[in-house]
Each structure stands twice: as C-alpha cells, then as structure tokens.
C-alpha cells in the first residue's frame, strides 16, 4: 500500500513525470531544454570572457598592492603604490592626455565618419540618378530608332 501511495503522490506533484513499473521517469519540458541549450552555448562565451577580460583585471588590481620584480619574490606594500602615483606629476599629464583623447578625439572622429558616410550616400544617389537618366534616355532613343 505504501508503494501505490507513493505513485499517487508522484503523479499529483510532478505533472511532467511518468510513473512506470515503480520507477519514476522524468520528462524534460521543451522550454527547459531550450534554456539548458542557451546556457550551454553561453557558458563557453562567458568562460572566455572571464578568462581573457575579467581575470586579468582582477589579477592586475591585486598586484597593484604589491611591489613586483621578476628577480625577487613579491612584496605586498598596500596603498604605497597609489600614494606614489598621486605624488607623481607625470601621472597627471598622462591623465590629462587620456581624458583629452577620450572626450575630444573620439566624438570628433565619429562626427567626421558619419558626415563622410552621409555625404557618400547623397553623392551615390546623385550619380545613380544621372546614370539611370542617361541609360533610360538611350533606351528610349533605341526604341524610337527601331520602329
């Protein structure tokens, strides 16, 4: 009686399951298969993302708290590297140059490239209109001559 009661409970609570010969066989829904497939495909990309982007950033951040020399063992110095960085005048010059590049040259190059693209689009339309007007007139002339 205990076994039949287990079967009834399994049928009640697991709607996607089948109970056969005292063994439970679970059928996987199609949506679950799709989700599993998508996560399976994304796991490779996410793994590569972590390996080649996130891991180097984390390791660099951790090593920024140490004094590293390839000939000597690593020595942890804490925030001393950042203190030295803020006291260095060359750092602020390079920061100014980086901000200049990010804030001025990137938008300027985008504006110039979009302007050139729009100009070429207008130019090719004009050339196309001139070309097809010429070709269509020559077709009209050929049809008049042939009659």
Total number of domains constituting the chain: 1
The pLDDT of residue 20 is above 60? no
Cα–Cα distance for residue pair 41/44, rounded to 1 Å: 6
pLDDT tens digit string along 54-111?
999 999 999 999 998 888 888 999 999 999 999 999 999 999 999 999 999 999 999 9
21 located within any domain: no
Share the mean pLDDT of the chain: 80
60 located within any domain: no
The pLDDT of residue 14 is above 50? no
- As a whole number of angstroms, the longest Cα–Cα distance in the chain is 101
31 located within any domain: no
SS (H, E, C) 83-144: HHHHHCHHHHHHHHHHHHHHHHHHHHHHHHHHHHHHHHHHHHHHHHHHHHHHHHHHHHHHHH
The reported pLDDT for the residue numbered 70 is: 84
102 located within any domain: yes
81 located within any domain: no
19 located within any domain: no
Model pTM above 0.95: no
User: Contact at 8 Å (CB) between 26 and 16?
Assistant: yes
Residue-wise DSSP of 8-60:
HHHHHH-TTEEEETTEEEEPPPHHHHHHHHHHHHHHHHHHHHIIIIIHHHHHH
92 located within any domain: yes
72 located within any domain: no
The rounded Cα 141 to chain-centroid distance in angstroms is: 56
Q: Which domain holds residue 144?
A: 88-147
């Amino acid at each position: 009686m205990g076994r039949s009661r287990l079967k009834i409970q399994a049928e009640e609570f697991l709607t996607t399951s089948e109970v056969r010969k005292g063994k439970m066989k679970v059928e996987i829904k199609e949506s679950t298969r799709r989700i599993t497939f998508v996560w399976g495909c994304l796991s490779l990309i996410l793994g590569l993302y972590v390996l080649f982007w996130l891991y180097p950033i984390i390791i660099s951040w951790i090593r920024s708290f140490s004094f590293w020399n390839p000939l000597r063992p690593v020595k942890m110095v804490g925030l001393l590297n950042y203190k030295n960085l803020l006291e260095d005048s060359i750092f602020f010059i390079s920061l100014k140059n980086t901000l200049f590049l990010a804030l001025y040259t990137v938008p300027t190059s985008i504006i110039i490239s979009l302007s050139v693209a729009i100009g070429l689009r207008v130019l090719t339309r004009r050339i196309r209109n001139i070309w097809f007007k010429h070709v269509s007139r020559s077709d009209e002339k050929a049809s008049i001559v042939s009659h």
